[in-house]
Amino acid sequence: MIVLRRGPVSIRFRRRTVYGTLVLLAIAAGLSVLALCQGAVWLSPAQVLTALSGRGGTSVVVLEWRLPRVVAALVFGAALALAGAVIQNLTRNPLGSPDVLGIEAGSYTGALIVMTGVIAEVPGLLTGMAMLCGMLAAGVVYALSLKSGIDRTRLVVIGIAVNAMLVALNAWIVLRAELEVAIAATGWSAGSLNGLGWDDLQIPLIVVGALVLLFTALSGQLNQATVGDEVAVATGVRLGRLRLVTVLAAVACSATVTAVTGPIVFIALAAPQIGRRLFATSGVGLLPAALTGGVLLLGADLIAQLLLAPVALPVGVVTTAIGGCYLLWLLLKEMR
């Protein structure tokens, strides 16, 4: 345990948490430099660092083309992981995540409604519809899982069922769309960071930043809720309001990312559990999940760029493949 004291105030940190945070930050920094070097033209780390300072002939390439993609991978990976961590904390189930419970599929449905011209498109409508439909999907799953309080097993089973129905609905919408729209929607459904610029990230970064502050403010109550409902209520936690606020915030996190990149699976499911094992925490910690999610998505995006270079794959293809391997490993581990 590491203790920092200043006057009457003292803060304690577990050594494993401090070391794990430093290691993941170092990995994130290394991957970020590598991602800024990678592109149609390879740049040396020295050229990248020079460009980051605003000097050199490659500053536009690094600052305007490659840096937004790196920032998006880190921030969106952390946002998806936080959404998964919050839902897994509330459900106490490692399968509780937006991509399993139908939230991302619902967000994709909202985006498809706008993309296929069912309603007239106006600025910000796609993001708003994605968030609205994601919240509606979460509300349906939450309402159907209630049984004298929330039933965690029913929540996962109903979430998987709702997710399957939404996937079928999305496929039907795409099949009935015009060819050009269907091709664009299908490509977008894979989840991609290709072509993102600062204009695409301004509003999502503000939304995710506000939600991170909300999660930070509620982290103490979330930790108490993981101990048990009776203990949490005895310590003054209003579970009904906490669950409603945190679920809405988690849905907003997931839907915001989905509206910009398309559905990116696996990160919200696995990052909280990987972070819990790396940091050896008893529950699903928000900081371990966020750091792990950012590193995972940035690493997956690098693989997507290198696998069939110079063609960049959608990052969702890579995260899906990694997610399948992770689930197989988890299954084999549980069987042993």
Look up residue 312 and give its DSSP letter: P
Report d(CA 259, CA 265) in Å as an integer: 14
Write down the domain spans for the chain.
Answer: 15-45+69-90+97-335
The backbone torsions φ and ψ at residue 151, rounded to the nearest 5 degrees and listed phi first, read -95, 115
Q: How confident is the model at residue 47 (pLDDT cuts 50, 70, 90)?
A: confident
Report d(CA 301, CA 75) in Å as an integer: 13
Interval 171-197: pLDDT, tens: 898 888 888 888 878 877 888 898 888
pTM of model > 0.85: yes
Given a contact cutoff of 8 angstroms between Cβ atoms, the answer to whether 289 and 272 are in contact is yes
**Is the link from the previous residue into 310 a cis peptide, with omega within 30 of 0?**
yes
- 168: which 2 tokens? 């079928």
Average pLDDT over residues 297-319: 88
CA angle centred on 173, ends 168 and 179, rounded to 5°: 130
pLDDT top residue among 21 and 54: 21
Distances 189 to 37, 165, 210, 264, 317 between C-alpha atoms, Å? 27, 16, 26, 8, 10
Report d(CA 141, CA 137) in Å as an integer: 6
Residue 322 has pLDDT above 90, yes or no: no
Q: How confident is the model at residue 220 (pLDDT cuts 50, 70, 90)?
A: confident
What pLDDT score does 256 carry? 86
Cα 333–chain centre separation: 25
What 3-state DSSP class applies to 287? helix
Interval 254-298: pLDDT, tens: 888 888 888 898 898 888 888 888 887 776 788 889 999 999 999
Q: How confident is the model at residue 76 (pLDDT cuts 50, 70, 90)?
A: very high
Task: Match 């996962």 to its residue by tokens.
Answer: 156
- Fold of the domain spanning 15-45+69-90+97-335: ABC transporter involved in vitamin B12 uptake, BtuC (1.10.3470)
Q: How confident is the model at residue 168 (pLDDT cuts 50, 70, 90)?
A: very high
